[in-house]
Amino acid sequence: MSKIKTAFFCSNCGYESAKWLGKCPSCNNWNTFIEEVIQKNNQPELNWQNYGSKQTTNNKAIALDEVNPNEQERIITANNELNRVLGGGIVPGSIVLVAGEPGIGKSTLFLQIGLSLQNLTVLYISGEESEQQIKMRANRIQLKHPSFYLLTETTTQSIFNEIKKLQPQLVIVDSVQTLQSNLIDAGAGSISQIRECTAEFQRFAKETNTPVFLIGHITKDGTIAGPKILEHIVDAVLQFEGDRHYTYRILRTLKNRFGSTSELGIYEMTGDGMKEVSNPSEILLTQREHTLSGSAIAATVEGIRPLLIEVQALVTQSVYGTPQRTVSGFDLRRLQLLLAVLEKRGGFLFGTKDVFINIAGGLKVEDPSIDLALIAALLSSYEDIPLPAHICFAGEVGLNGEIRAVNRIEQRIAEAEKLGFEKIFVSRYNQKAIQPKKYSIEIVALSEVQELYQQLF
């Protein structure tokens, strides 16, 4: 009898080992290794092409100079937010992984995108829902597509047999964790099954020049479920995030071989599906209460899109011995750094205060240009004096208390001017890149944190 090849995989991170280990050397978790069958020796190797036949392709080497340098024409969808996040549209032959929490709206968004591509033959493969459930969602979205096909199947052999008959121009798989390949004798959702099924779809996408969207799950700590190689195989990784208790959703790029990785798409969940938010700055600023202290507006940039967001700070006297530091949407270590700068360079006693920071709208911001607005909100709450309603901030703060220059300053100023702001505080080192005569907004250049306090209070 032929031997069966097995290996041990970490169920948390996908680390592979020839023997069982108590502690994973990759993620340091205990008792996470599971034995899985990789392949039986007496089973022939198959791929998507020769399911049902014995045909194989013989790819030949080609000189680099013979490759056509012309860029492939992208598929432009009716969804401008998705086009921006993917770098200008769907690239033919690309394979894109979309991950997010359950109930966040992944299936709704991509069913809506598939139905909107009227000039393409679209195949929607569902391993989680029945055809009747998908039809109910399509009726709610109120879109019709004559060449939109459904397939409720989880076995890759049956899926590729159907693909060979239909020859779709776009494939959406919901979800990759439900797929099961005949090459692997393991349950659906296991490390080896996810890796093999994704590799089969990658070969299909590259050899037929058909774009594939894979919808994936995430673990309880927010990372994409499955082995890390899953993210390496695909061309782009999109994270669909947001609070289910709010209506806004954010589509963020984590990896993109065809565009920038700092792009952001914003949607609003409605009864008719996902609606694009073309000007998120107006929405993020509509619920401001101008008479309260601890609120400041930051001019940030996500990818190529300027955003004005509200930064909220609350500084109170600490009741317990150790003061609290609580943040939402911001880096806690960055907050501790800025508080140390205010204590050392400004003489403010935050060591006995509880500090709470919130980025309004559920956004998570990593742009360092938000530092100046955060310090303004902290000082406003510390002094309990509200800031003027029509001012905003764009600047990074260094350890010496200096206000450093930020990139794309003209885009930030233009966005603030468009939304009716009258004054913007920037770094003095950004003055070379600014032409004040172009703007009607007043531009105040600062070099140190102490100057900010003098200007505001």
Residue set of the binding site for ATP = 100-107
Task: Tell me which amino acid residue 449 is.
Answer: V
Contact at 8 Å (CB) between 122 and 147? yes
What are residue 306's phi and psi, to 5 degrees?
-75, 140
- Please, is 183 exposed, middle or buried when counting C-beta atoms within 10 Å of its C-beta (0-12, 13-18, 19+)? buried
**Cα–Cα distance between 255 and 240 in angstroms, integer?**
13
| Separation CA 437–CA 443 (nearest Å) | 10
DSSP string, 413-454: HHHHHHTT--EEEEEGGGGGG--GGG-SSEEEEESBHHHHHH
Position 379, amino acid = L
Helix axes 156-166, 191-208, angle to 10 degrees: 10
Q: Which residues are annotated as a binding site?
A: 100-107
The secondary structure of 301-339 as a DSSP string is EETTEEEEEEEEEEEEE-SSSSPPEEEESS-HHHHHHHH
DSSP annotation of 357 reads E
Residue 39 pairs in a beta bridge with: 5
User: Whole-angstrom Cα distance, residue 322 to residue 362?
Assistant: 27
